[in-house]
Structure 1
Amino acid sequence: MEQIFSKLKFITHGEGFIDITHDLNLCVEKNNFHSGILNLTSLHTSCSLTINENADPNVLKDLKKYMQSIVPYDSYLTLSKNREEISYKHYQEGADDMPAHIKTSLTNTCLSLSFQDGKIMLGTWQAVYLWEHRFDQKERIINVHIIGEKK
């Protein structure tokens, strides 16, 4: 068994998803691994990692809209009987920042994936996505830790 640590950088273009599956498979291949485990960690508090469908783009559009509906910008309504409106206290980095932190807390910042024959083991219609929760373009870094057997 061998292991390596690496970092992958991605430029996002505001809220939305970037399919990073190919980049991950390329990282496994370039490091000459055959089988093992790939551990991914986002080094940010306002984006997520997720596995979801890669066939119908409406799945990702619906996920984004749903998340926006449960985590509104600027303020939210409590779930209590009187439905009090609460404004976010953390707003210094923009109206999208606190909601981005909440979205990240509701999703994943780390994933562990098995790979075999140099390819991540995913279902037919699955892909690994970096999910950006901020409005603006950001540089995002994913820490990659590969543990496995070399070819």
Structure 2
Amino acid sequence: MAYQETFEIRTSGRGMSDVTGQVAAIVERAPKGAGLAHVFVRHTSCSLLMTENADPDVRRDLETLARRWAPDGDPAYRHDLEGDDDMAAHARSVLSGTDVTVPFNDGQLLLGTWQGIYLWEHRARGHMRQVVVTLIE
């Protein structure tokens, strides 16, 4: 059995948005059983990741690391059509990934105590992002 829904989220610029609730709601609506929830973002300048959901310092520290991995405005970048953050956003997306997979059972995500699913916006300004959730039983 496969079941799929898409939702949109408006970001406010660089940073993380918790999408655990939206994914959990889709799993709750789907037919009951055990399987995998594959969560995918349809963009190349943001990411999806699973990280700690208790201490916001973890997310701030990840942003600090991302600035080191892919700094805005590096003069070596050729792709800068949309500004100094353009290529850096694409590089951050490649480094952190565009999907996560989470097991579920009987309408519940089987996340660990401190785990949450986050959309990580890598662009300086906000965007409307589409997230596809596919449930495979």
Same-fold call, TM > 0.5? yes
Helix, strand or coil at the partner of 2:33? strand
Deviations 1:70-128 (A, max 9, x none): 211111xxxxxxxxxx4311111111110000001101112111011311111111101
| CA distance, structure 2, for counterparts of residue 34 and residue 9 of structure 1 | 26
The TM-score, its normalising length taken from structure 1, stands at: 0.86
133-142 vs 29-38, greater mean Cα deviation? 29-38
Write the mapping of 1:2-151 to structure 2, written as runs, cut at 5 A: 2-75=1-74, 86-148=75-137
RMSD: 1.1
Helix, strand or coil at the partner of 1:33? coil
Helix, strand or coil at the partner of 1:22? helix
Whose strand proportion is higher, 1 or 2? 1
Identity of aligned residues (%): 37
What letter corresponds to residue 95 of structure 1 in structure 2? D
Q: Is the CA contact (8 Å cut-off) linking 2:29 and 2:107 kept in structure 1?
A: no
The residue that corresponds to 1:78 in the other structure is: none
Deviation at 1:66, TM superposition (A): 1.2
Q: Which has the larger radius of gyration?
A: 1
| CA distance, structure 1, for counterparts of residue 5 and residue 115 of structure 2 | 23
Helix, strand or coil at the partner of 2:58? helix
Q: Is the CA contact (8 Å cut-off) linking 2:18 and 2:116 kept in structure 1?
A: yes
Structure 1: 4+ residue segments shifted above 6 A: none
| CA distance, structure 2, for counterparts of residue 125 and residue 39 of structure 1 | 19
The residue that corresponds to 1:81 in the other structure is: none
The TM-score, its normalising length taken from structure 2, stands at: 0.94
Helix, strand or coil at the partner of 1:13? coil
Q: Is the CA contact (8 Å cut-off) linking 2:30 and 2:107 kept in structure 1?
A: no
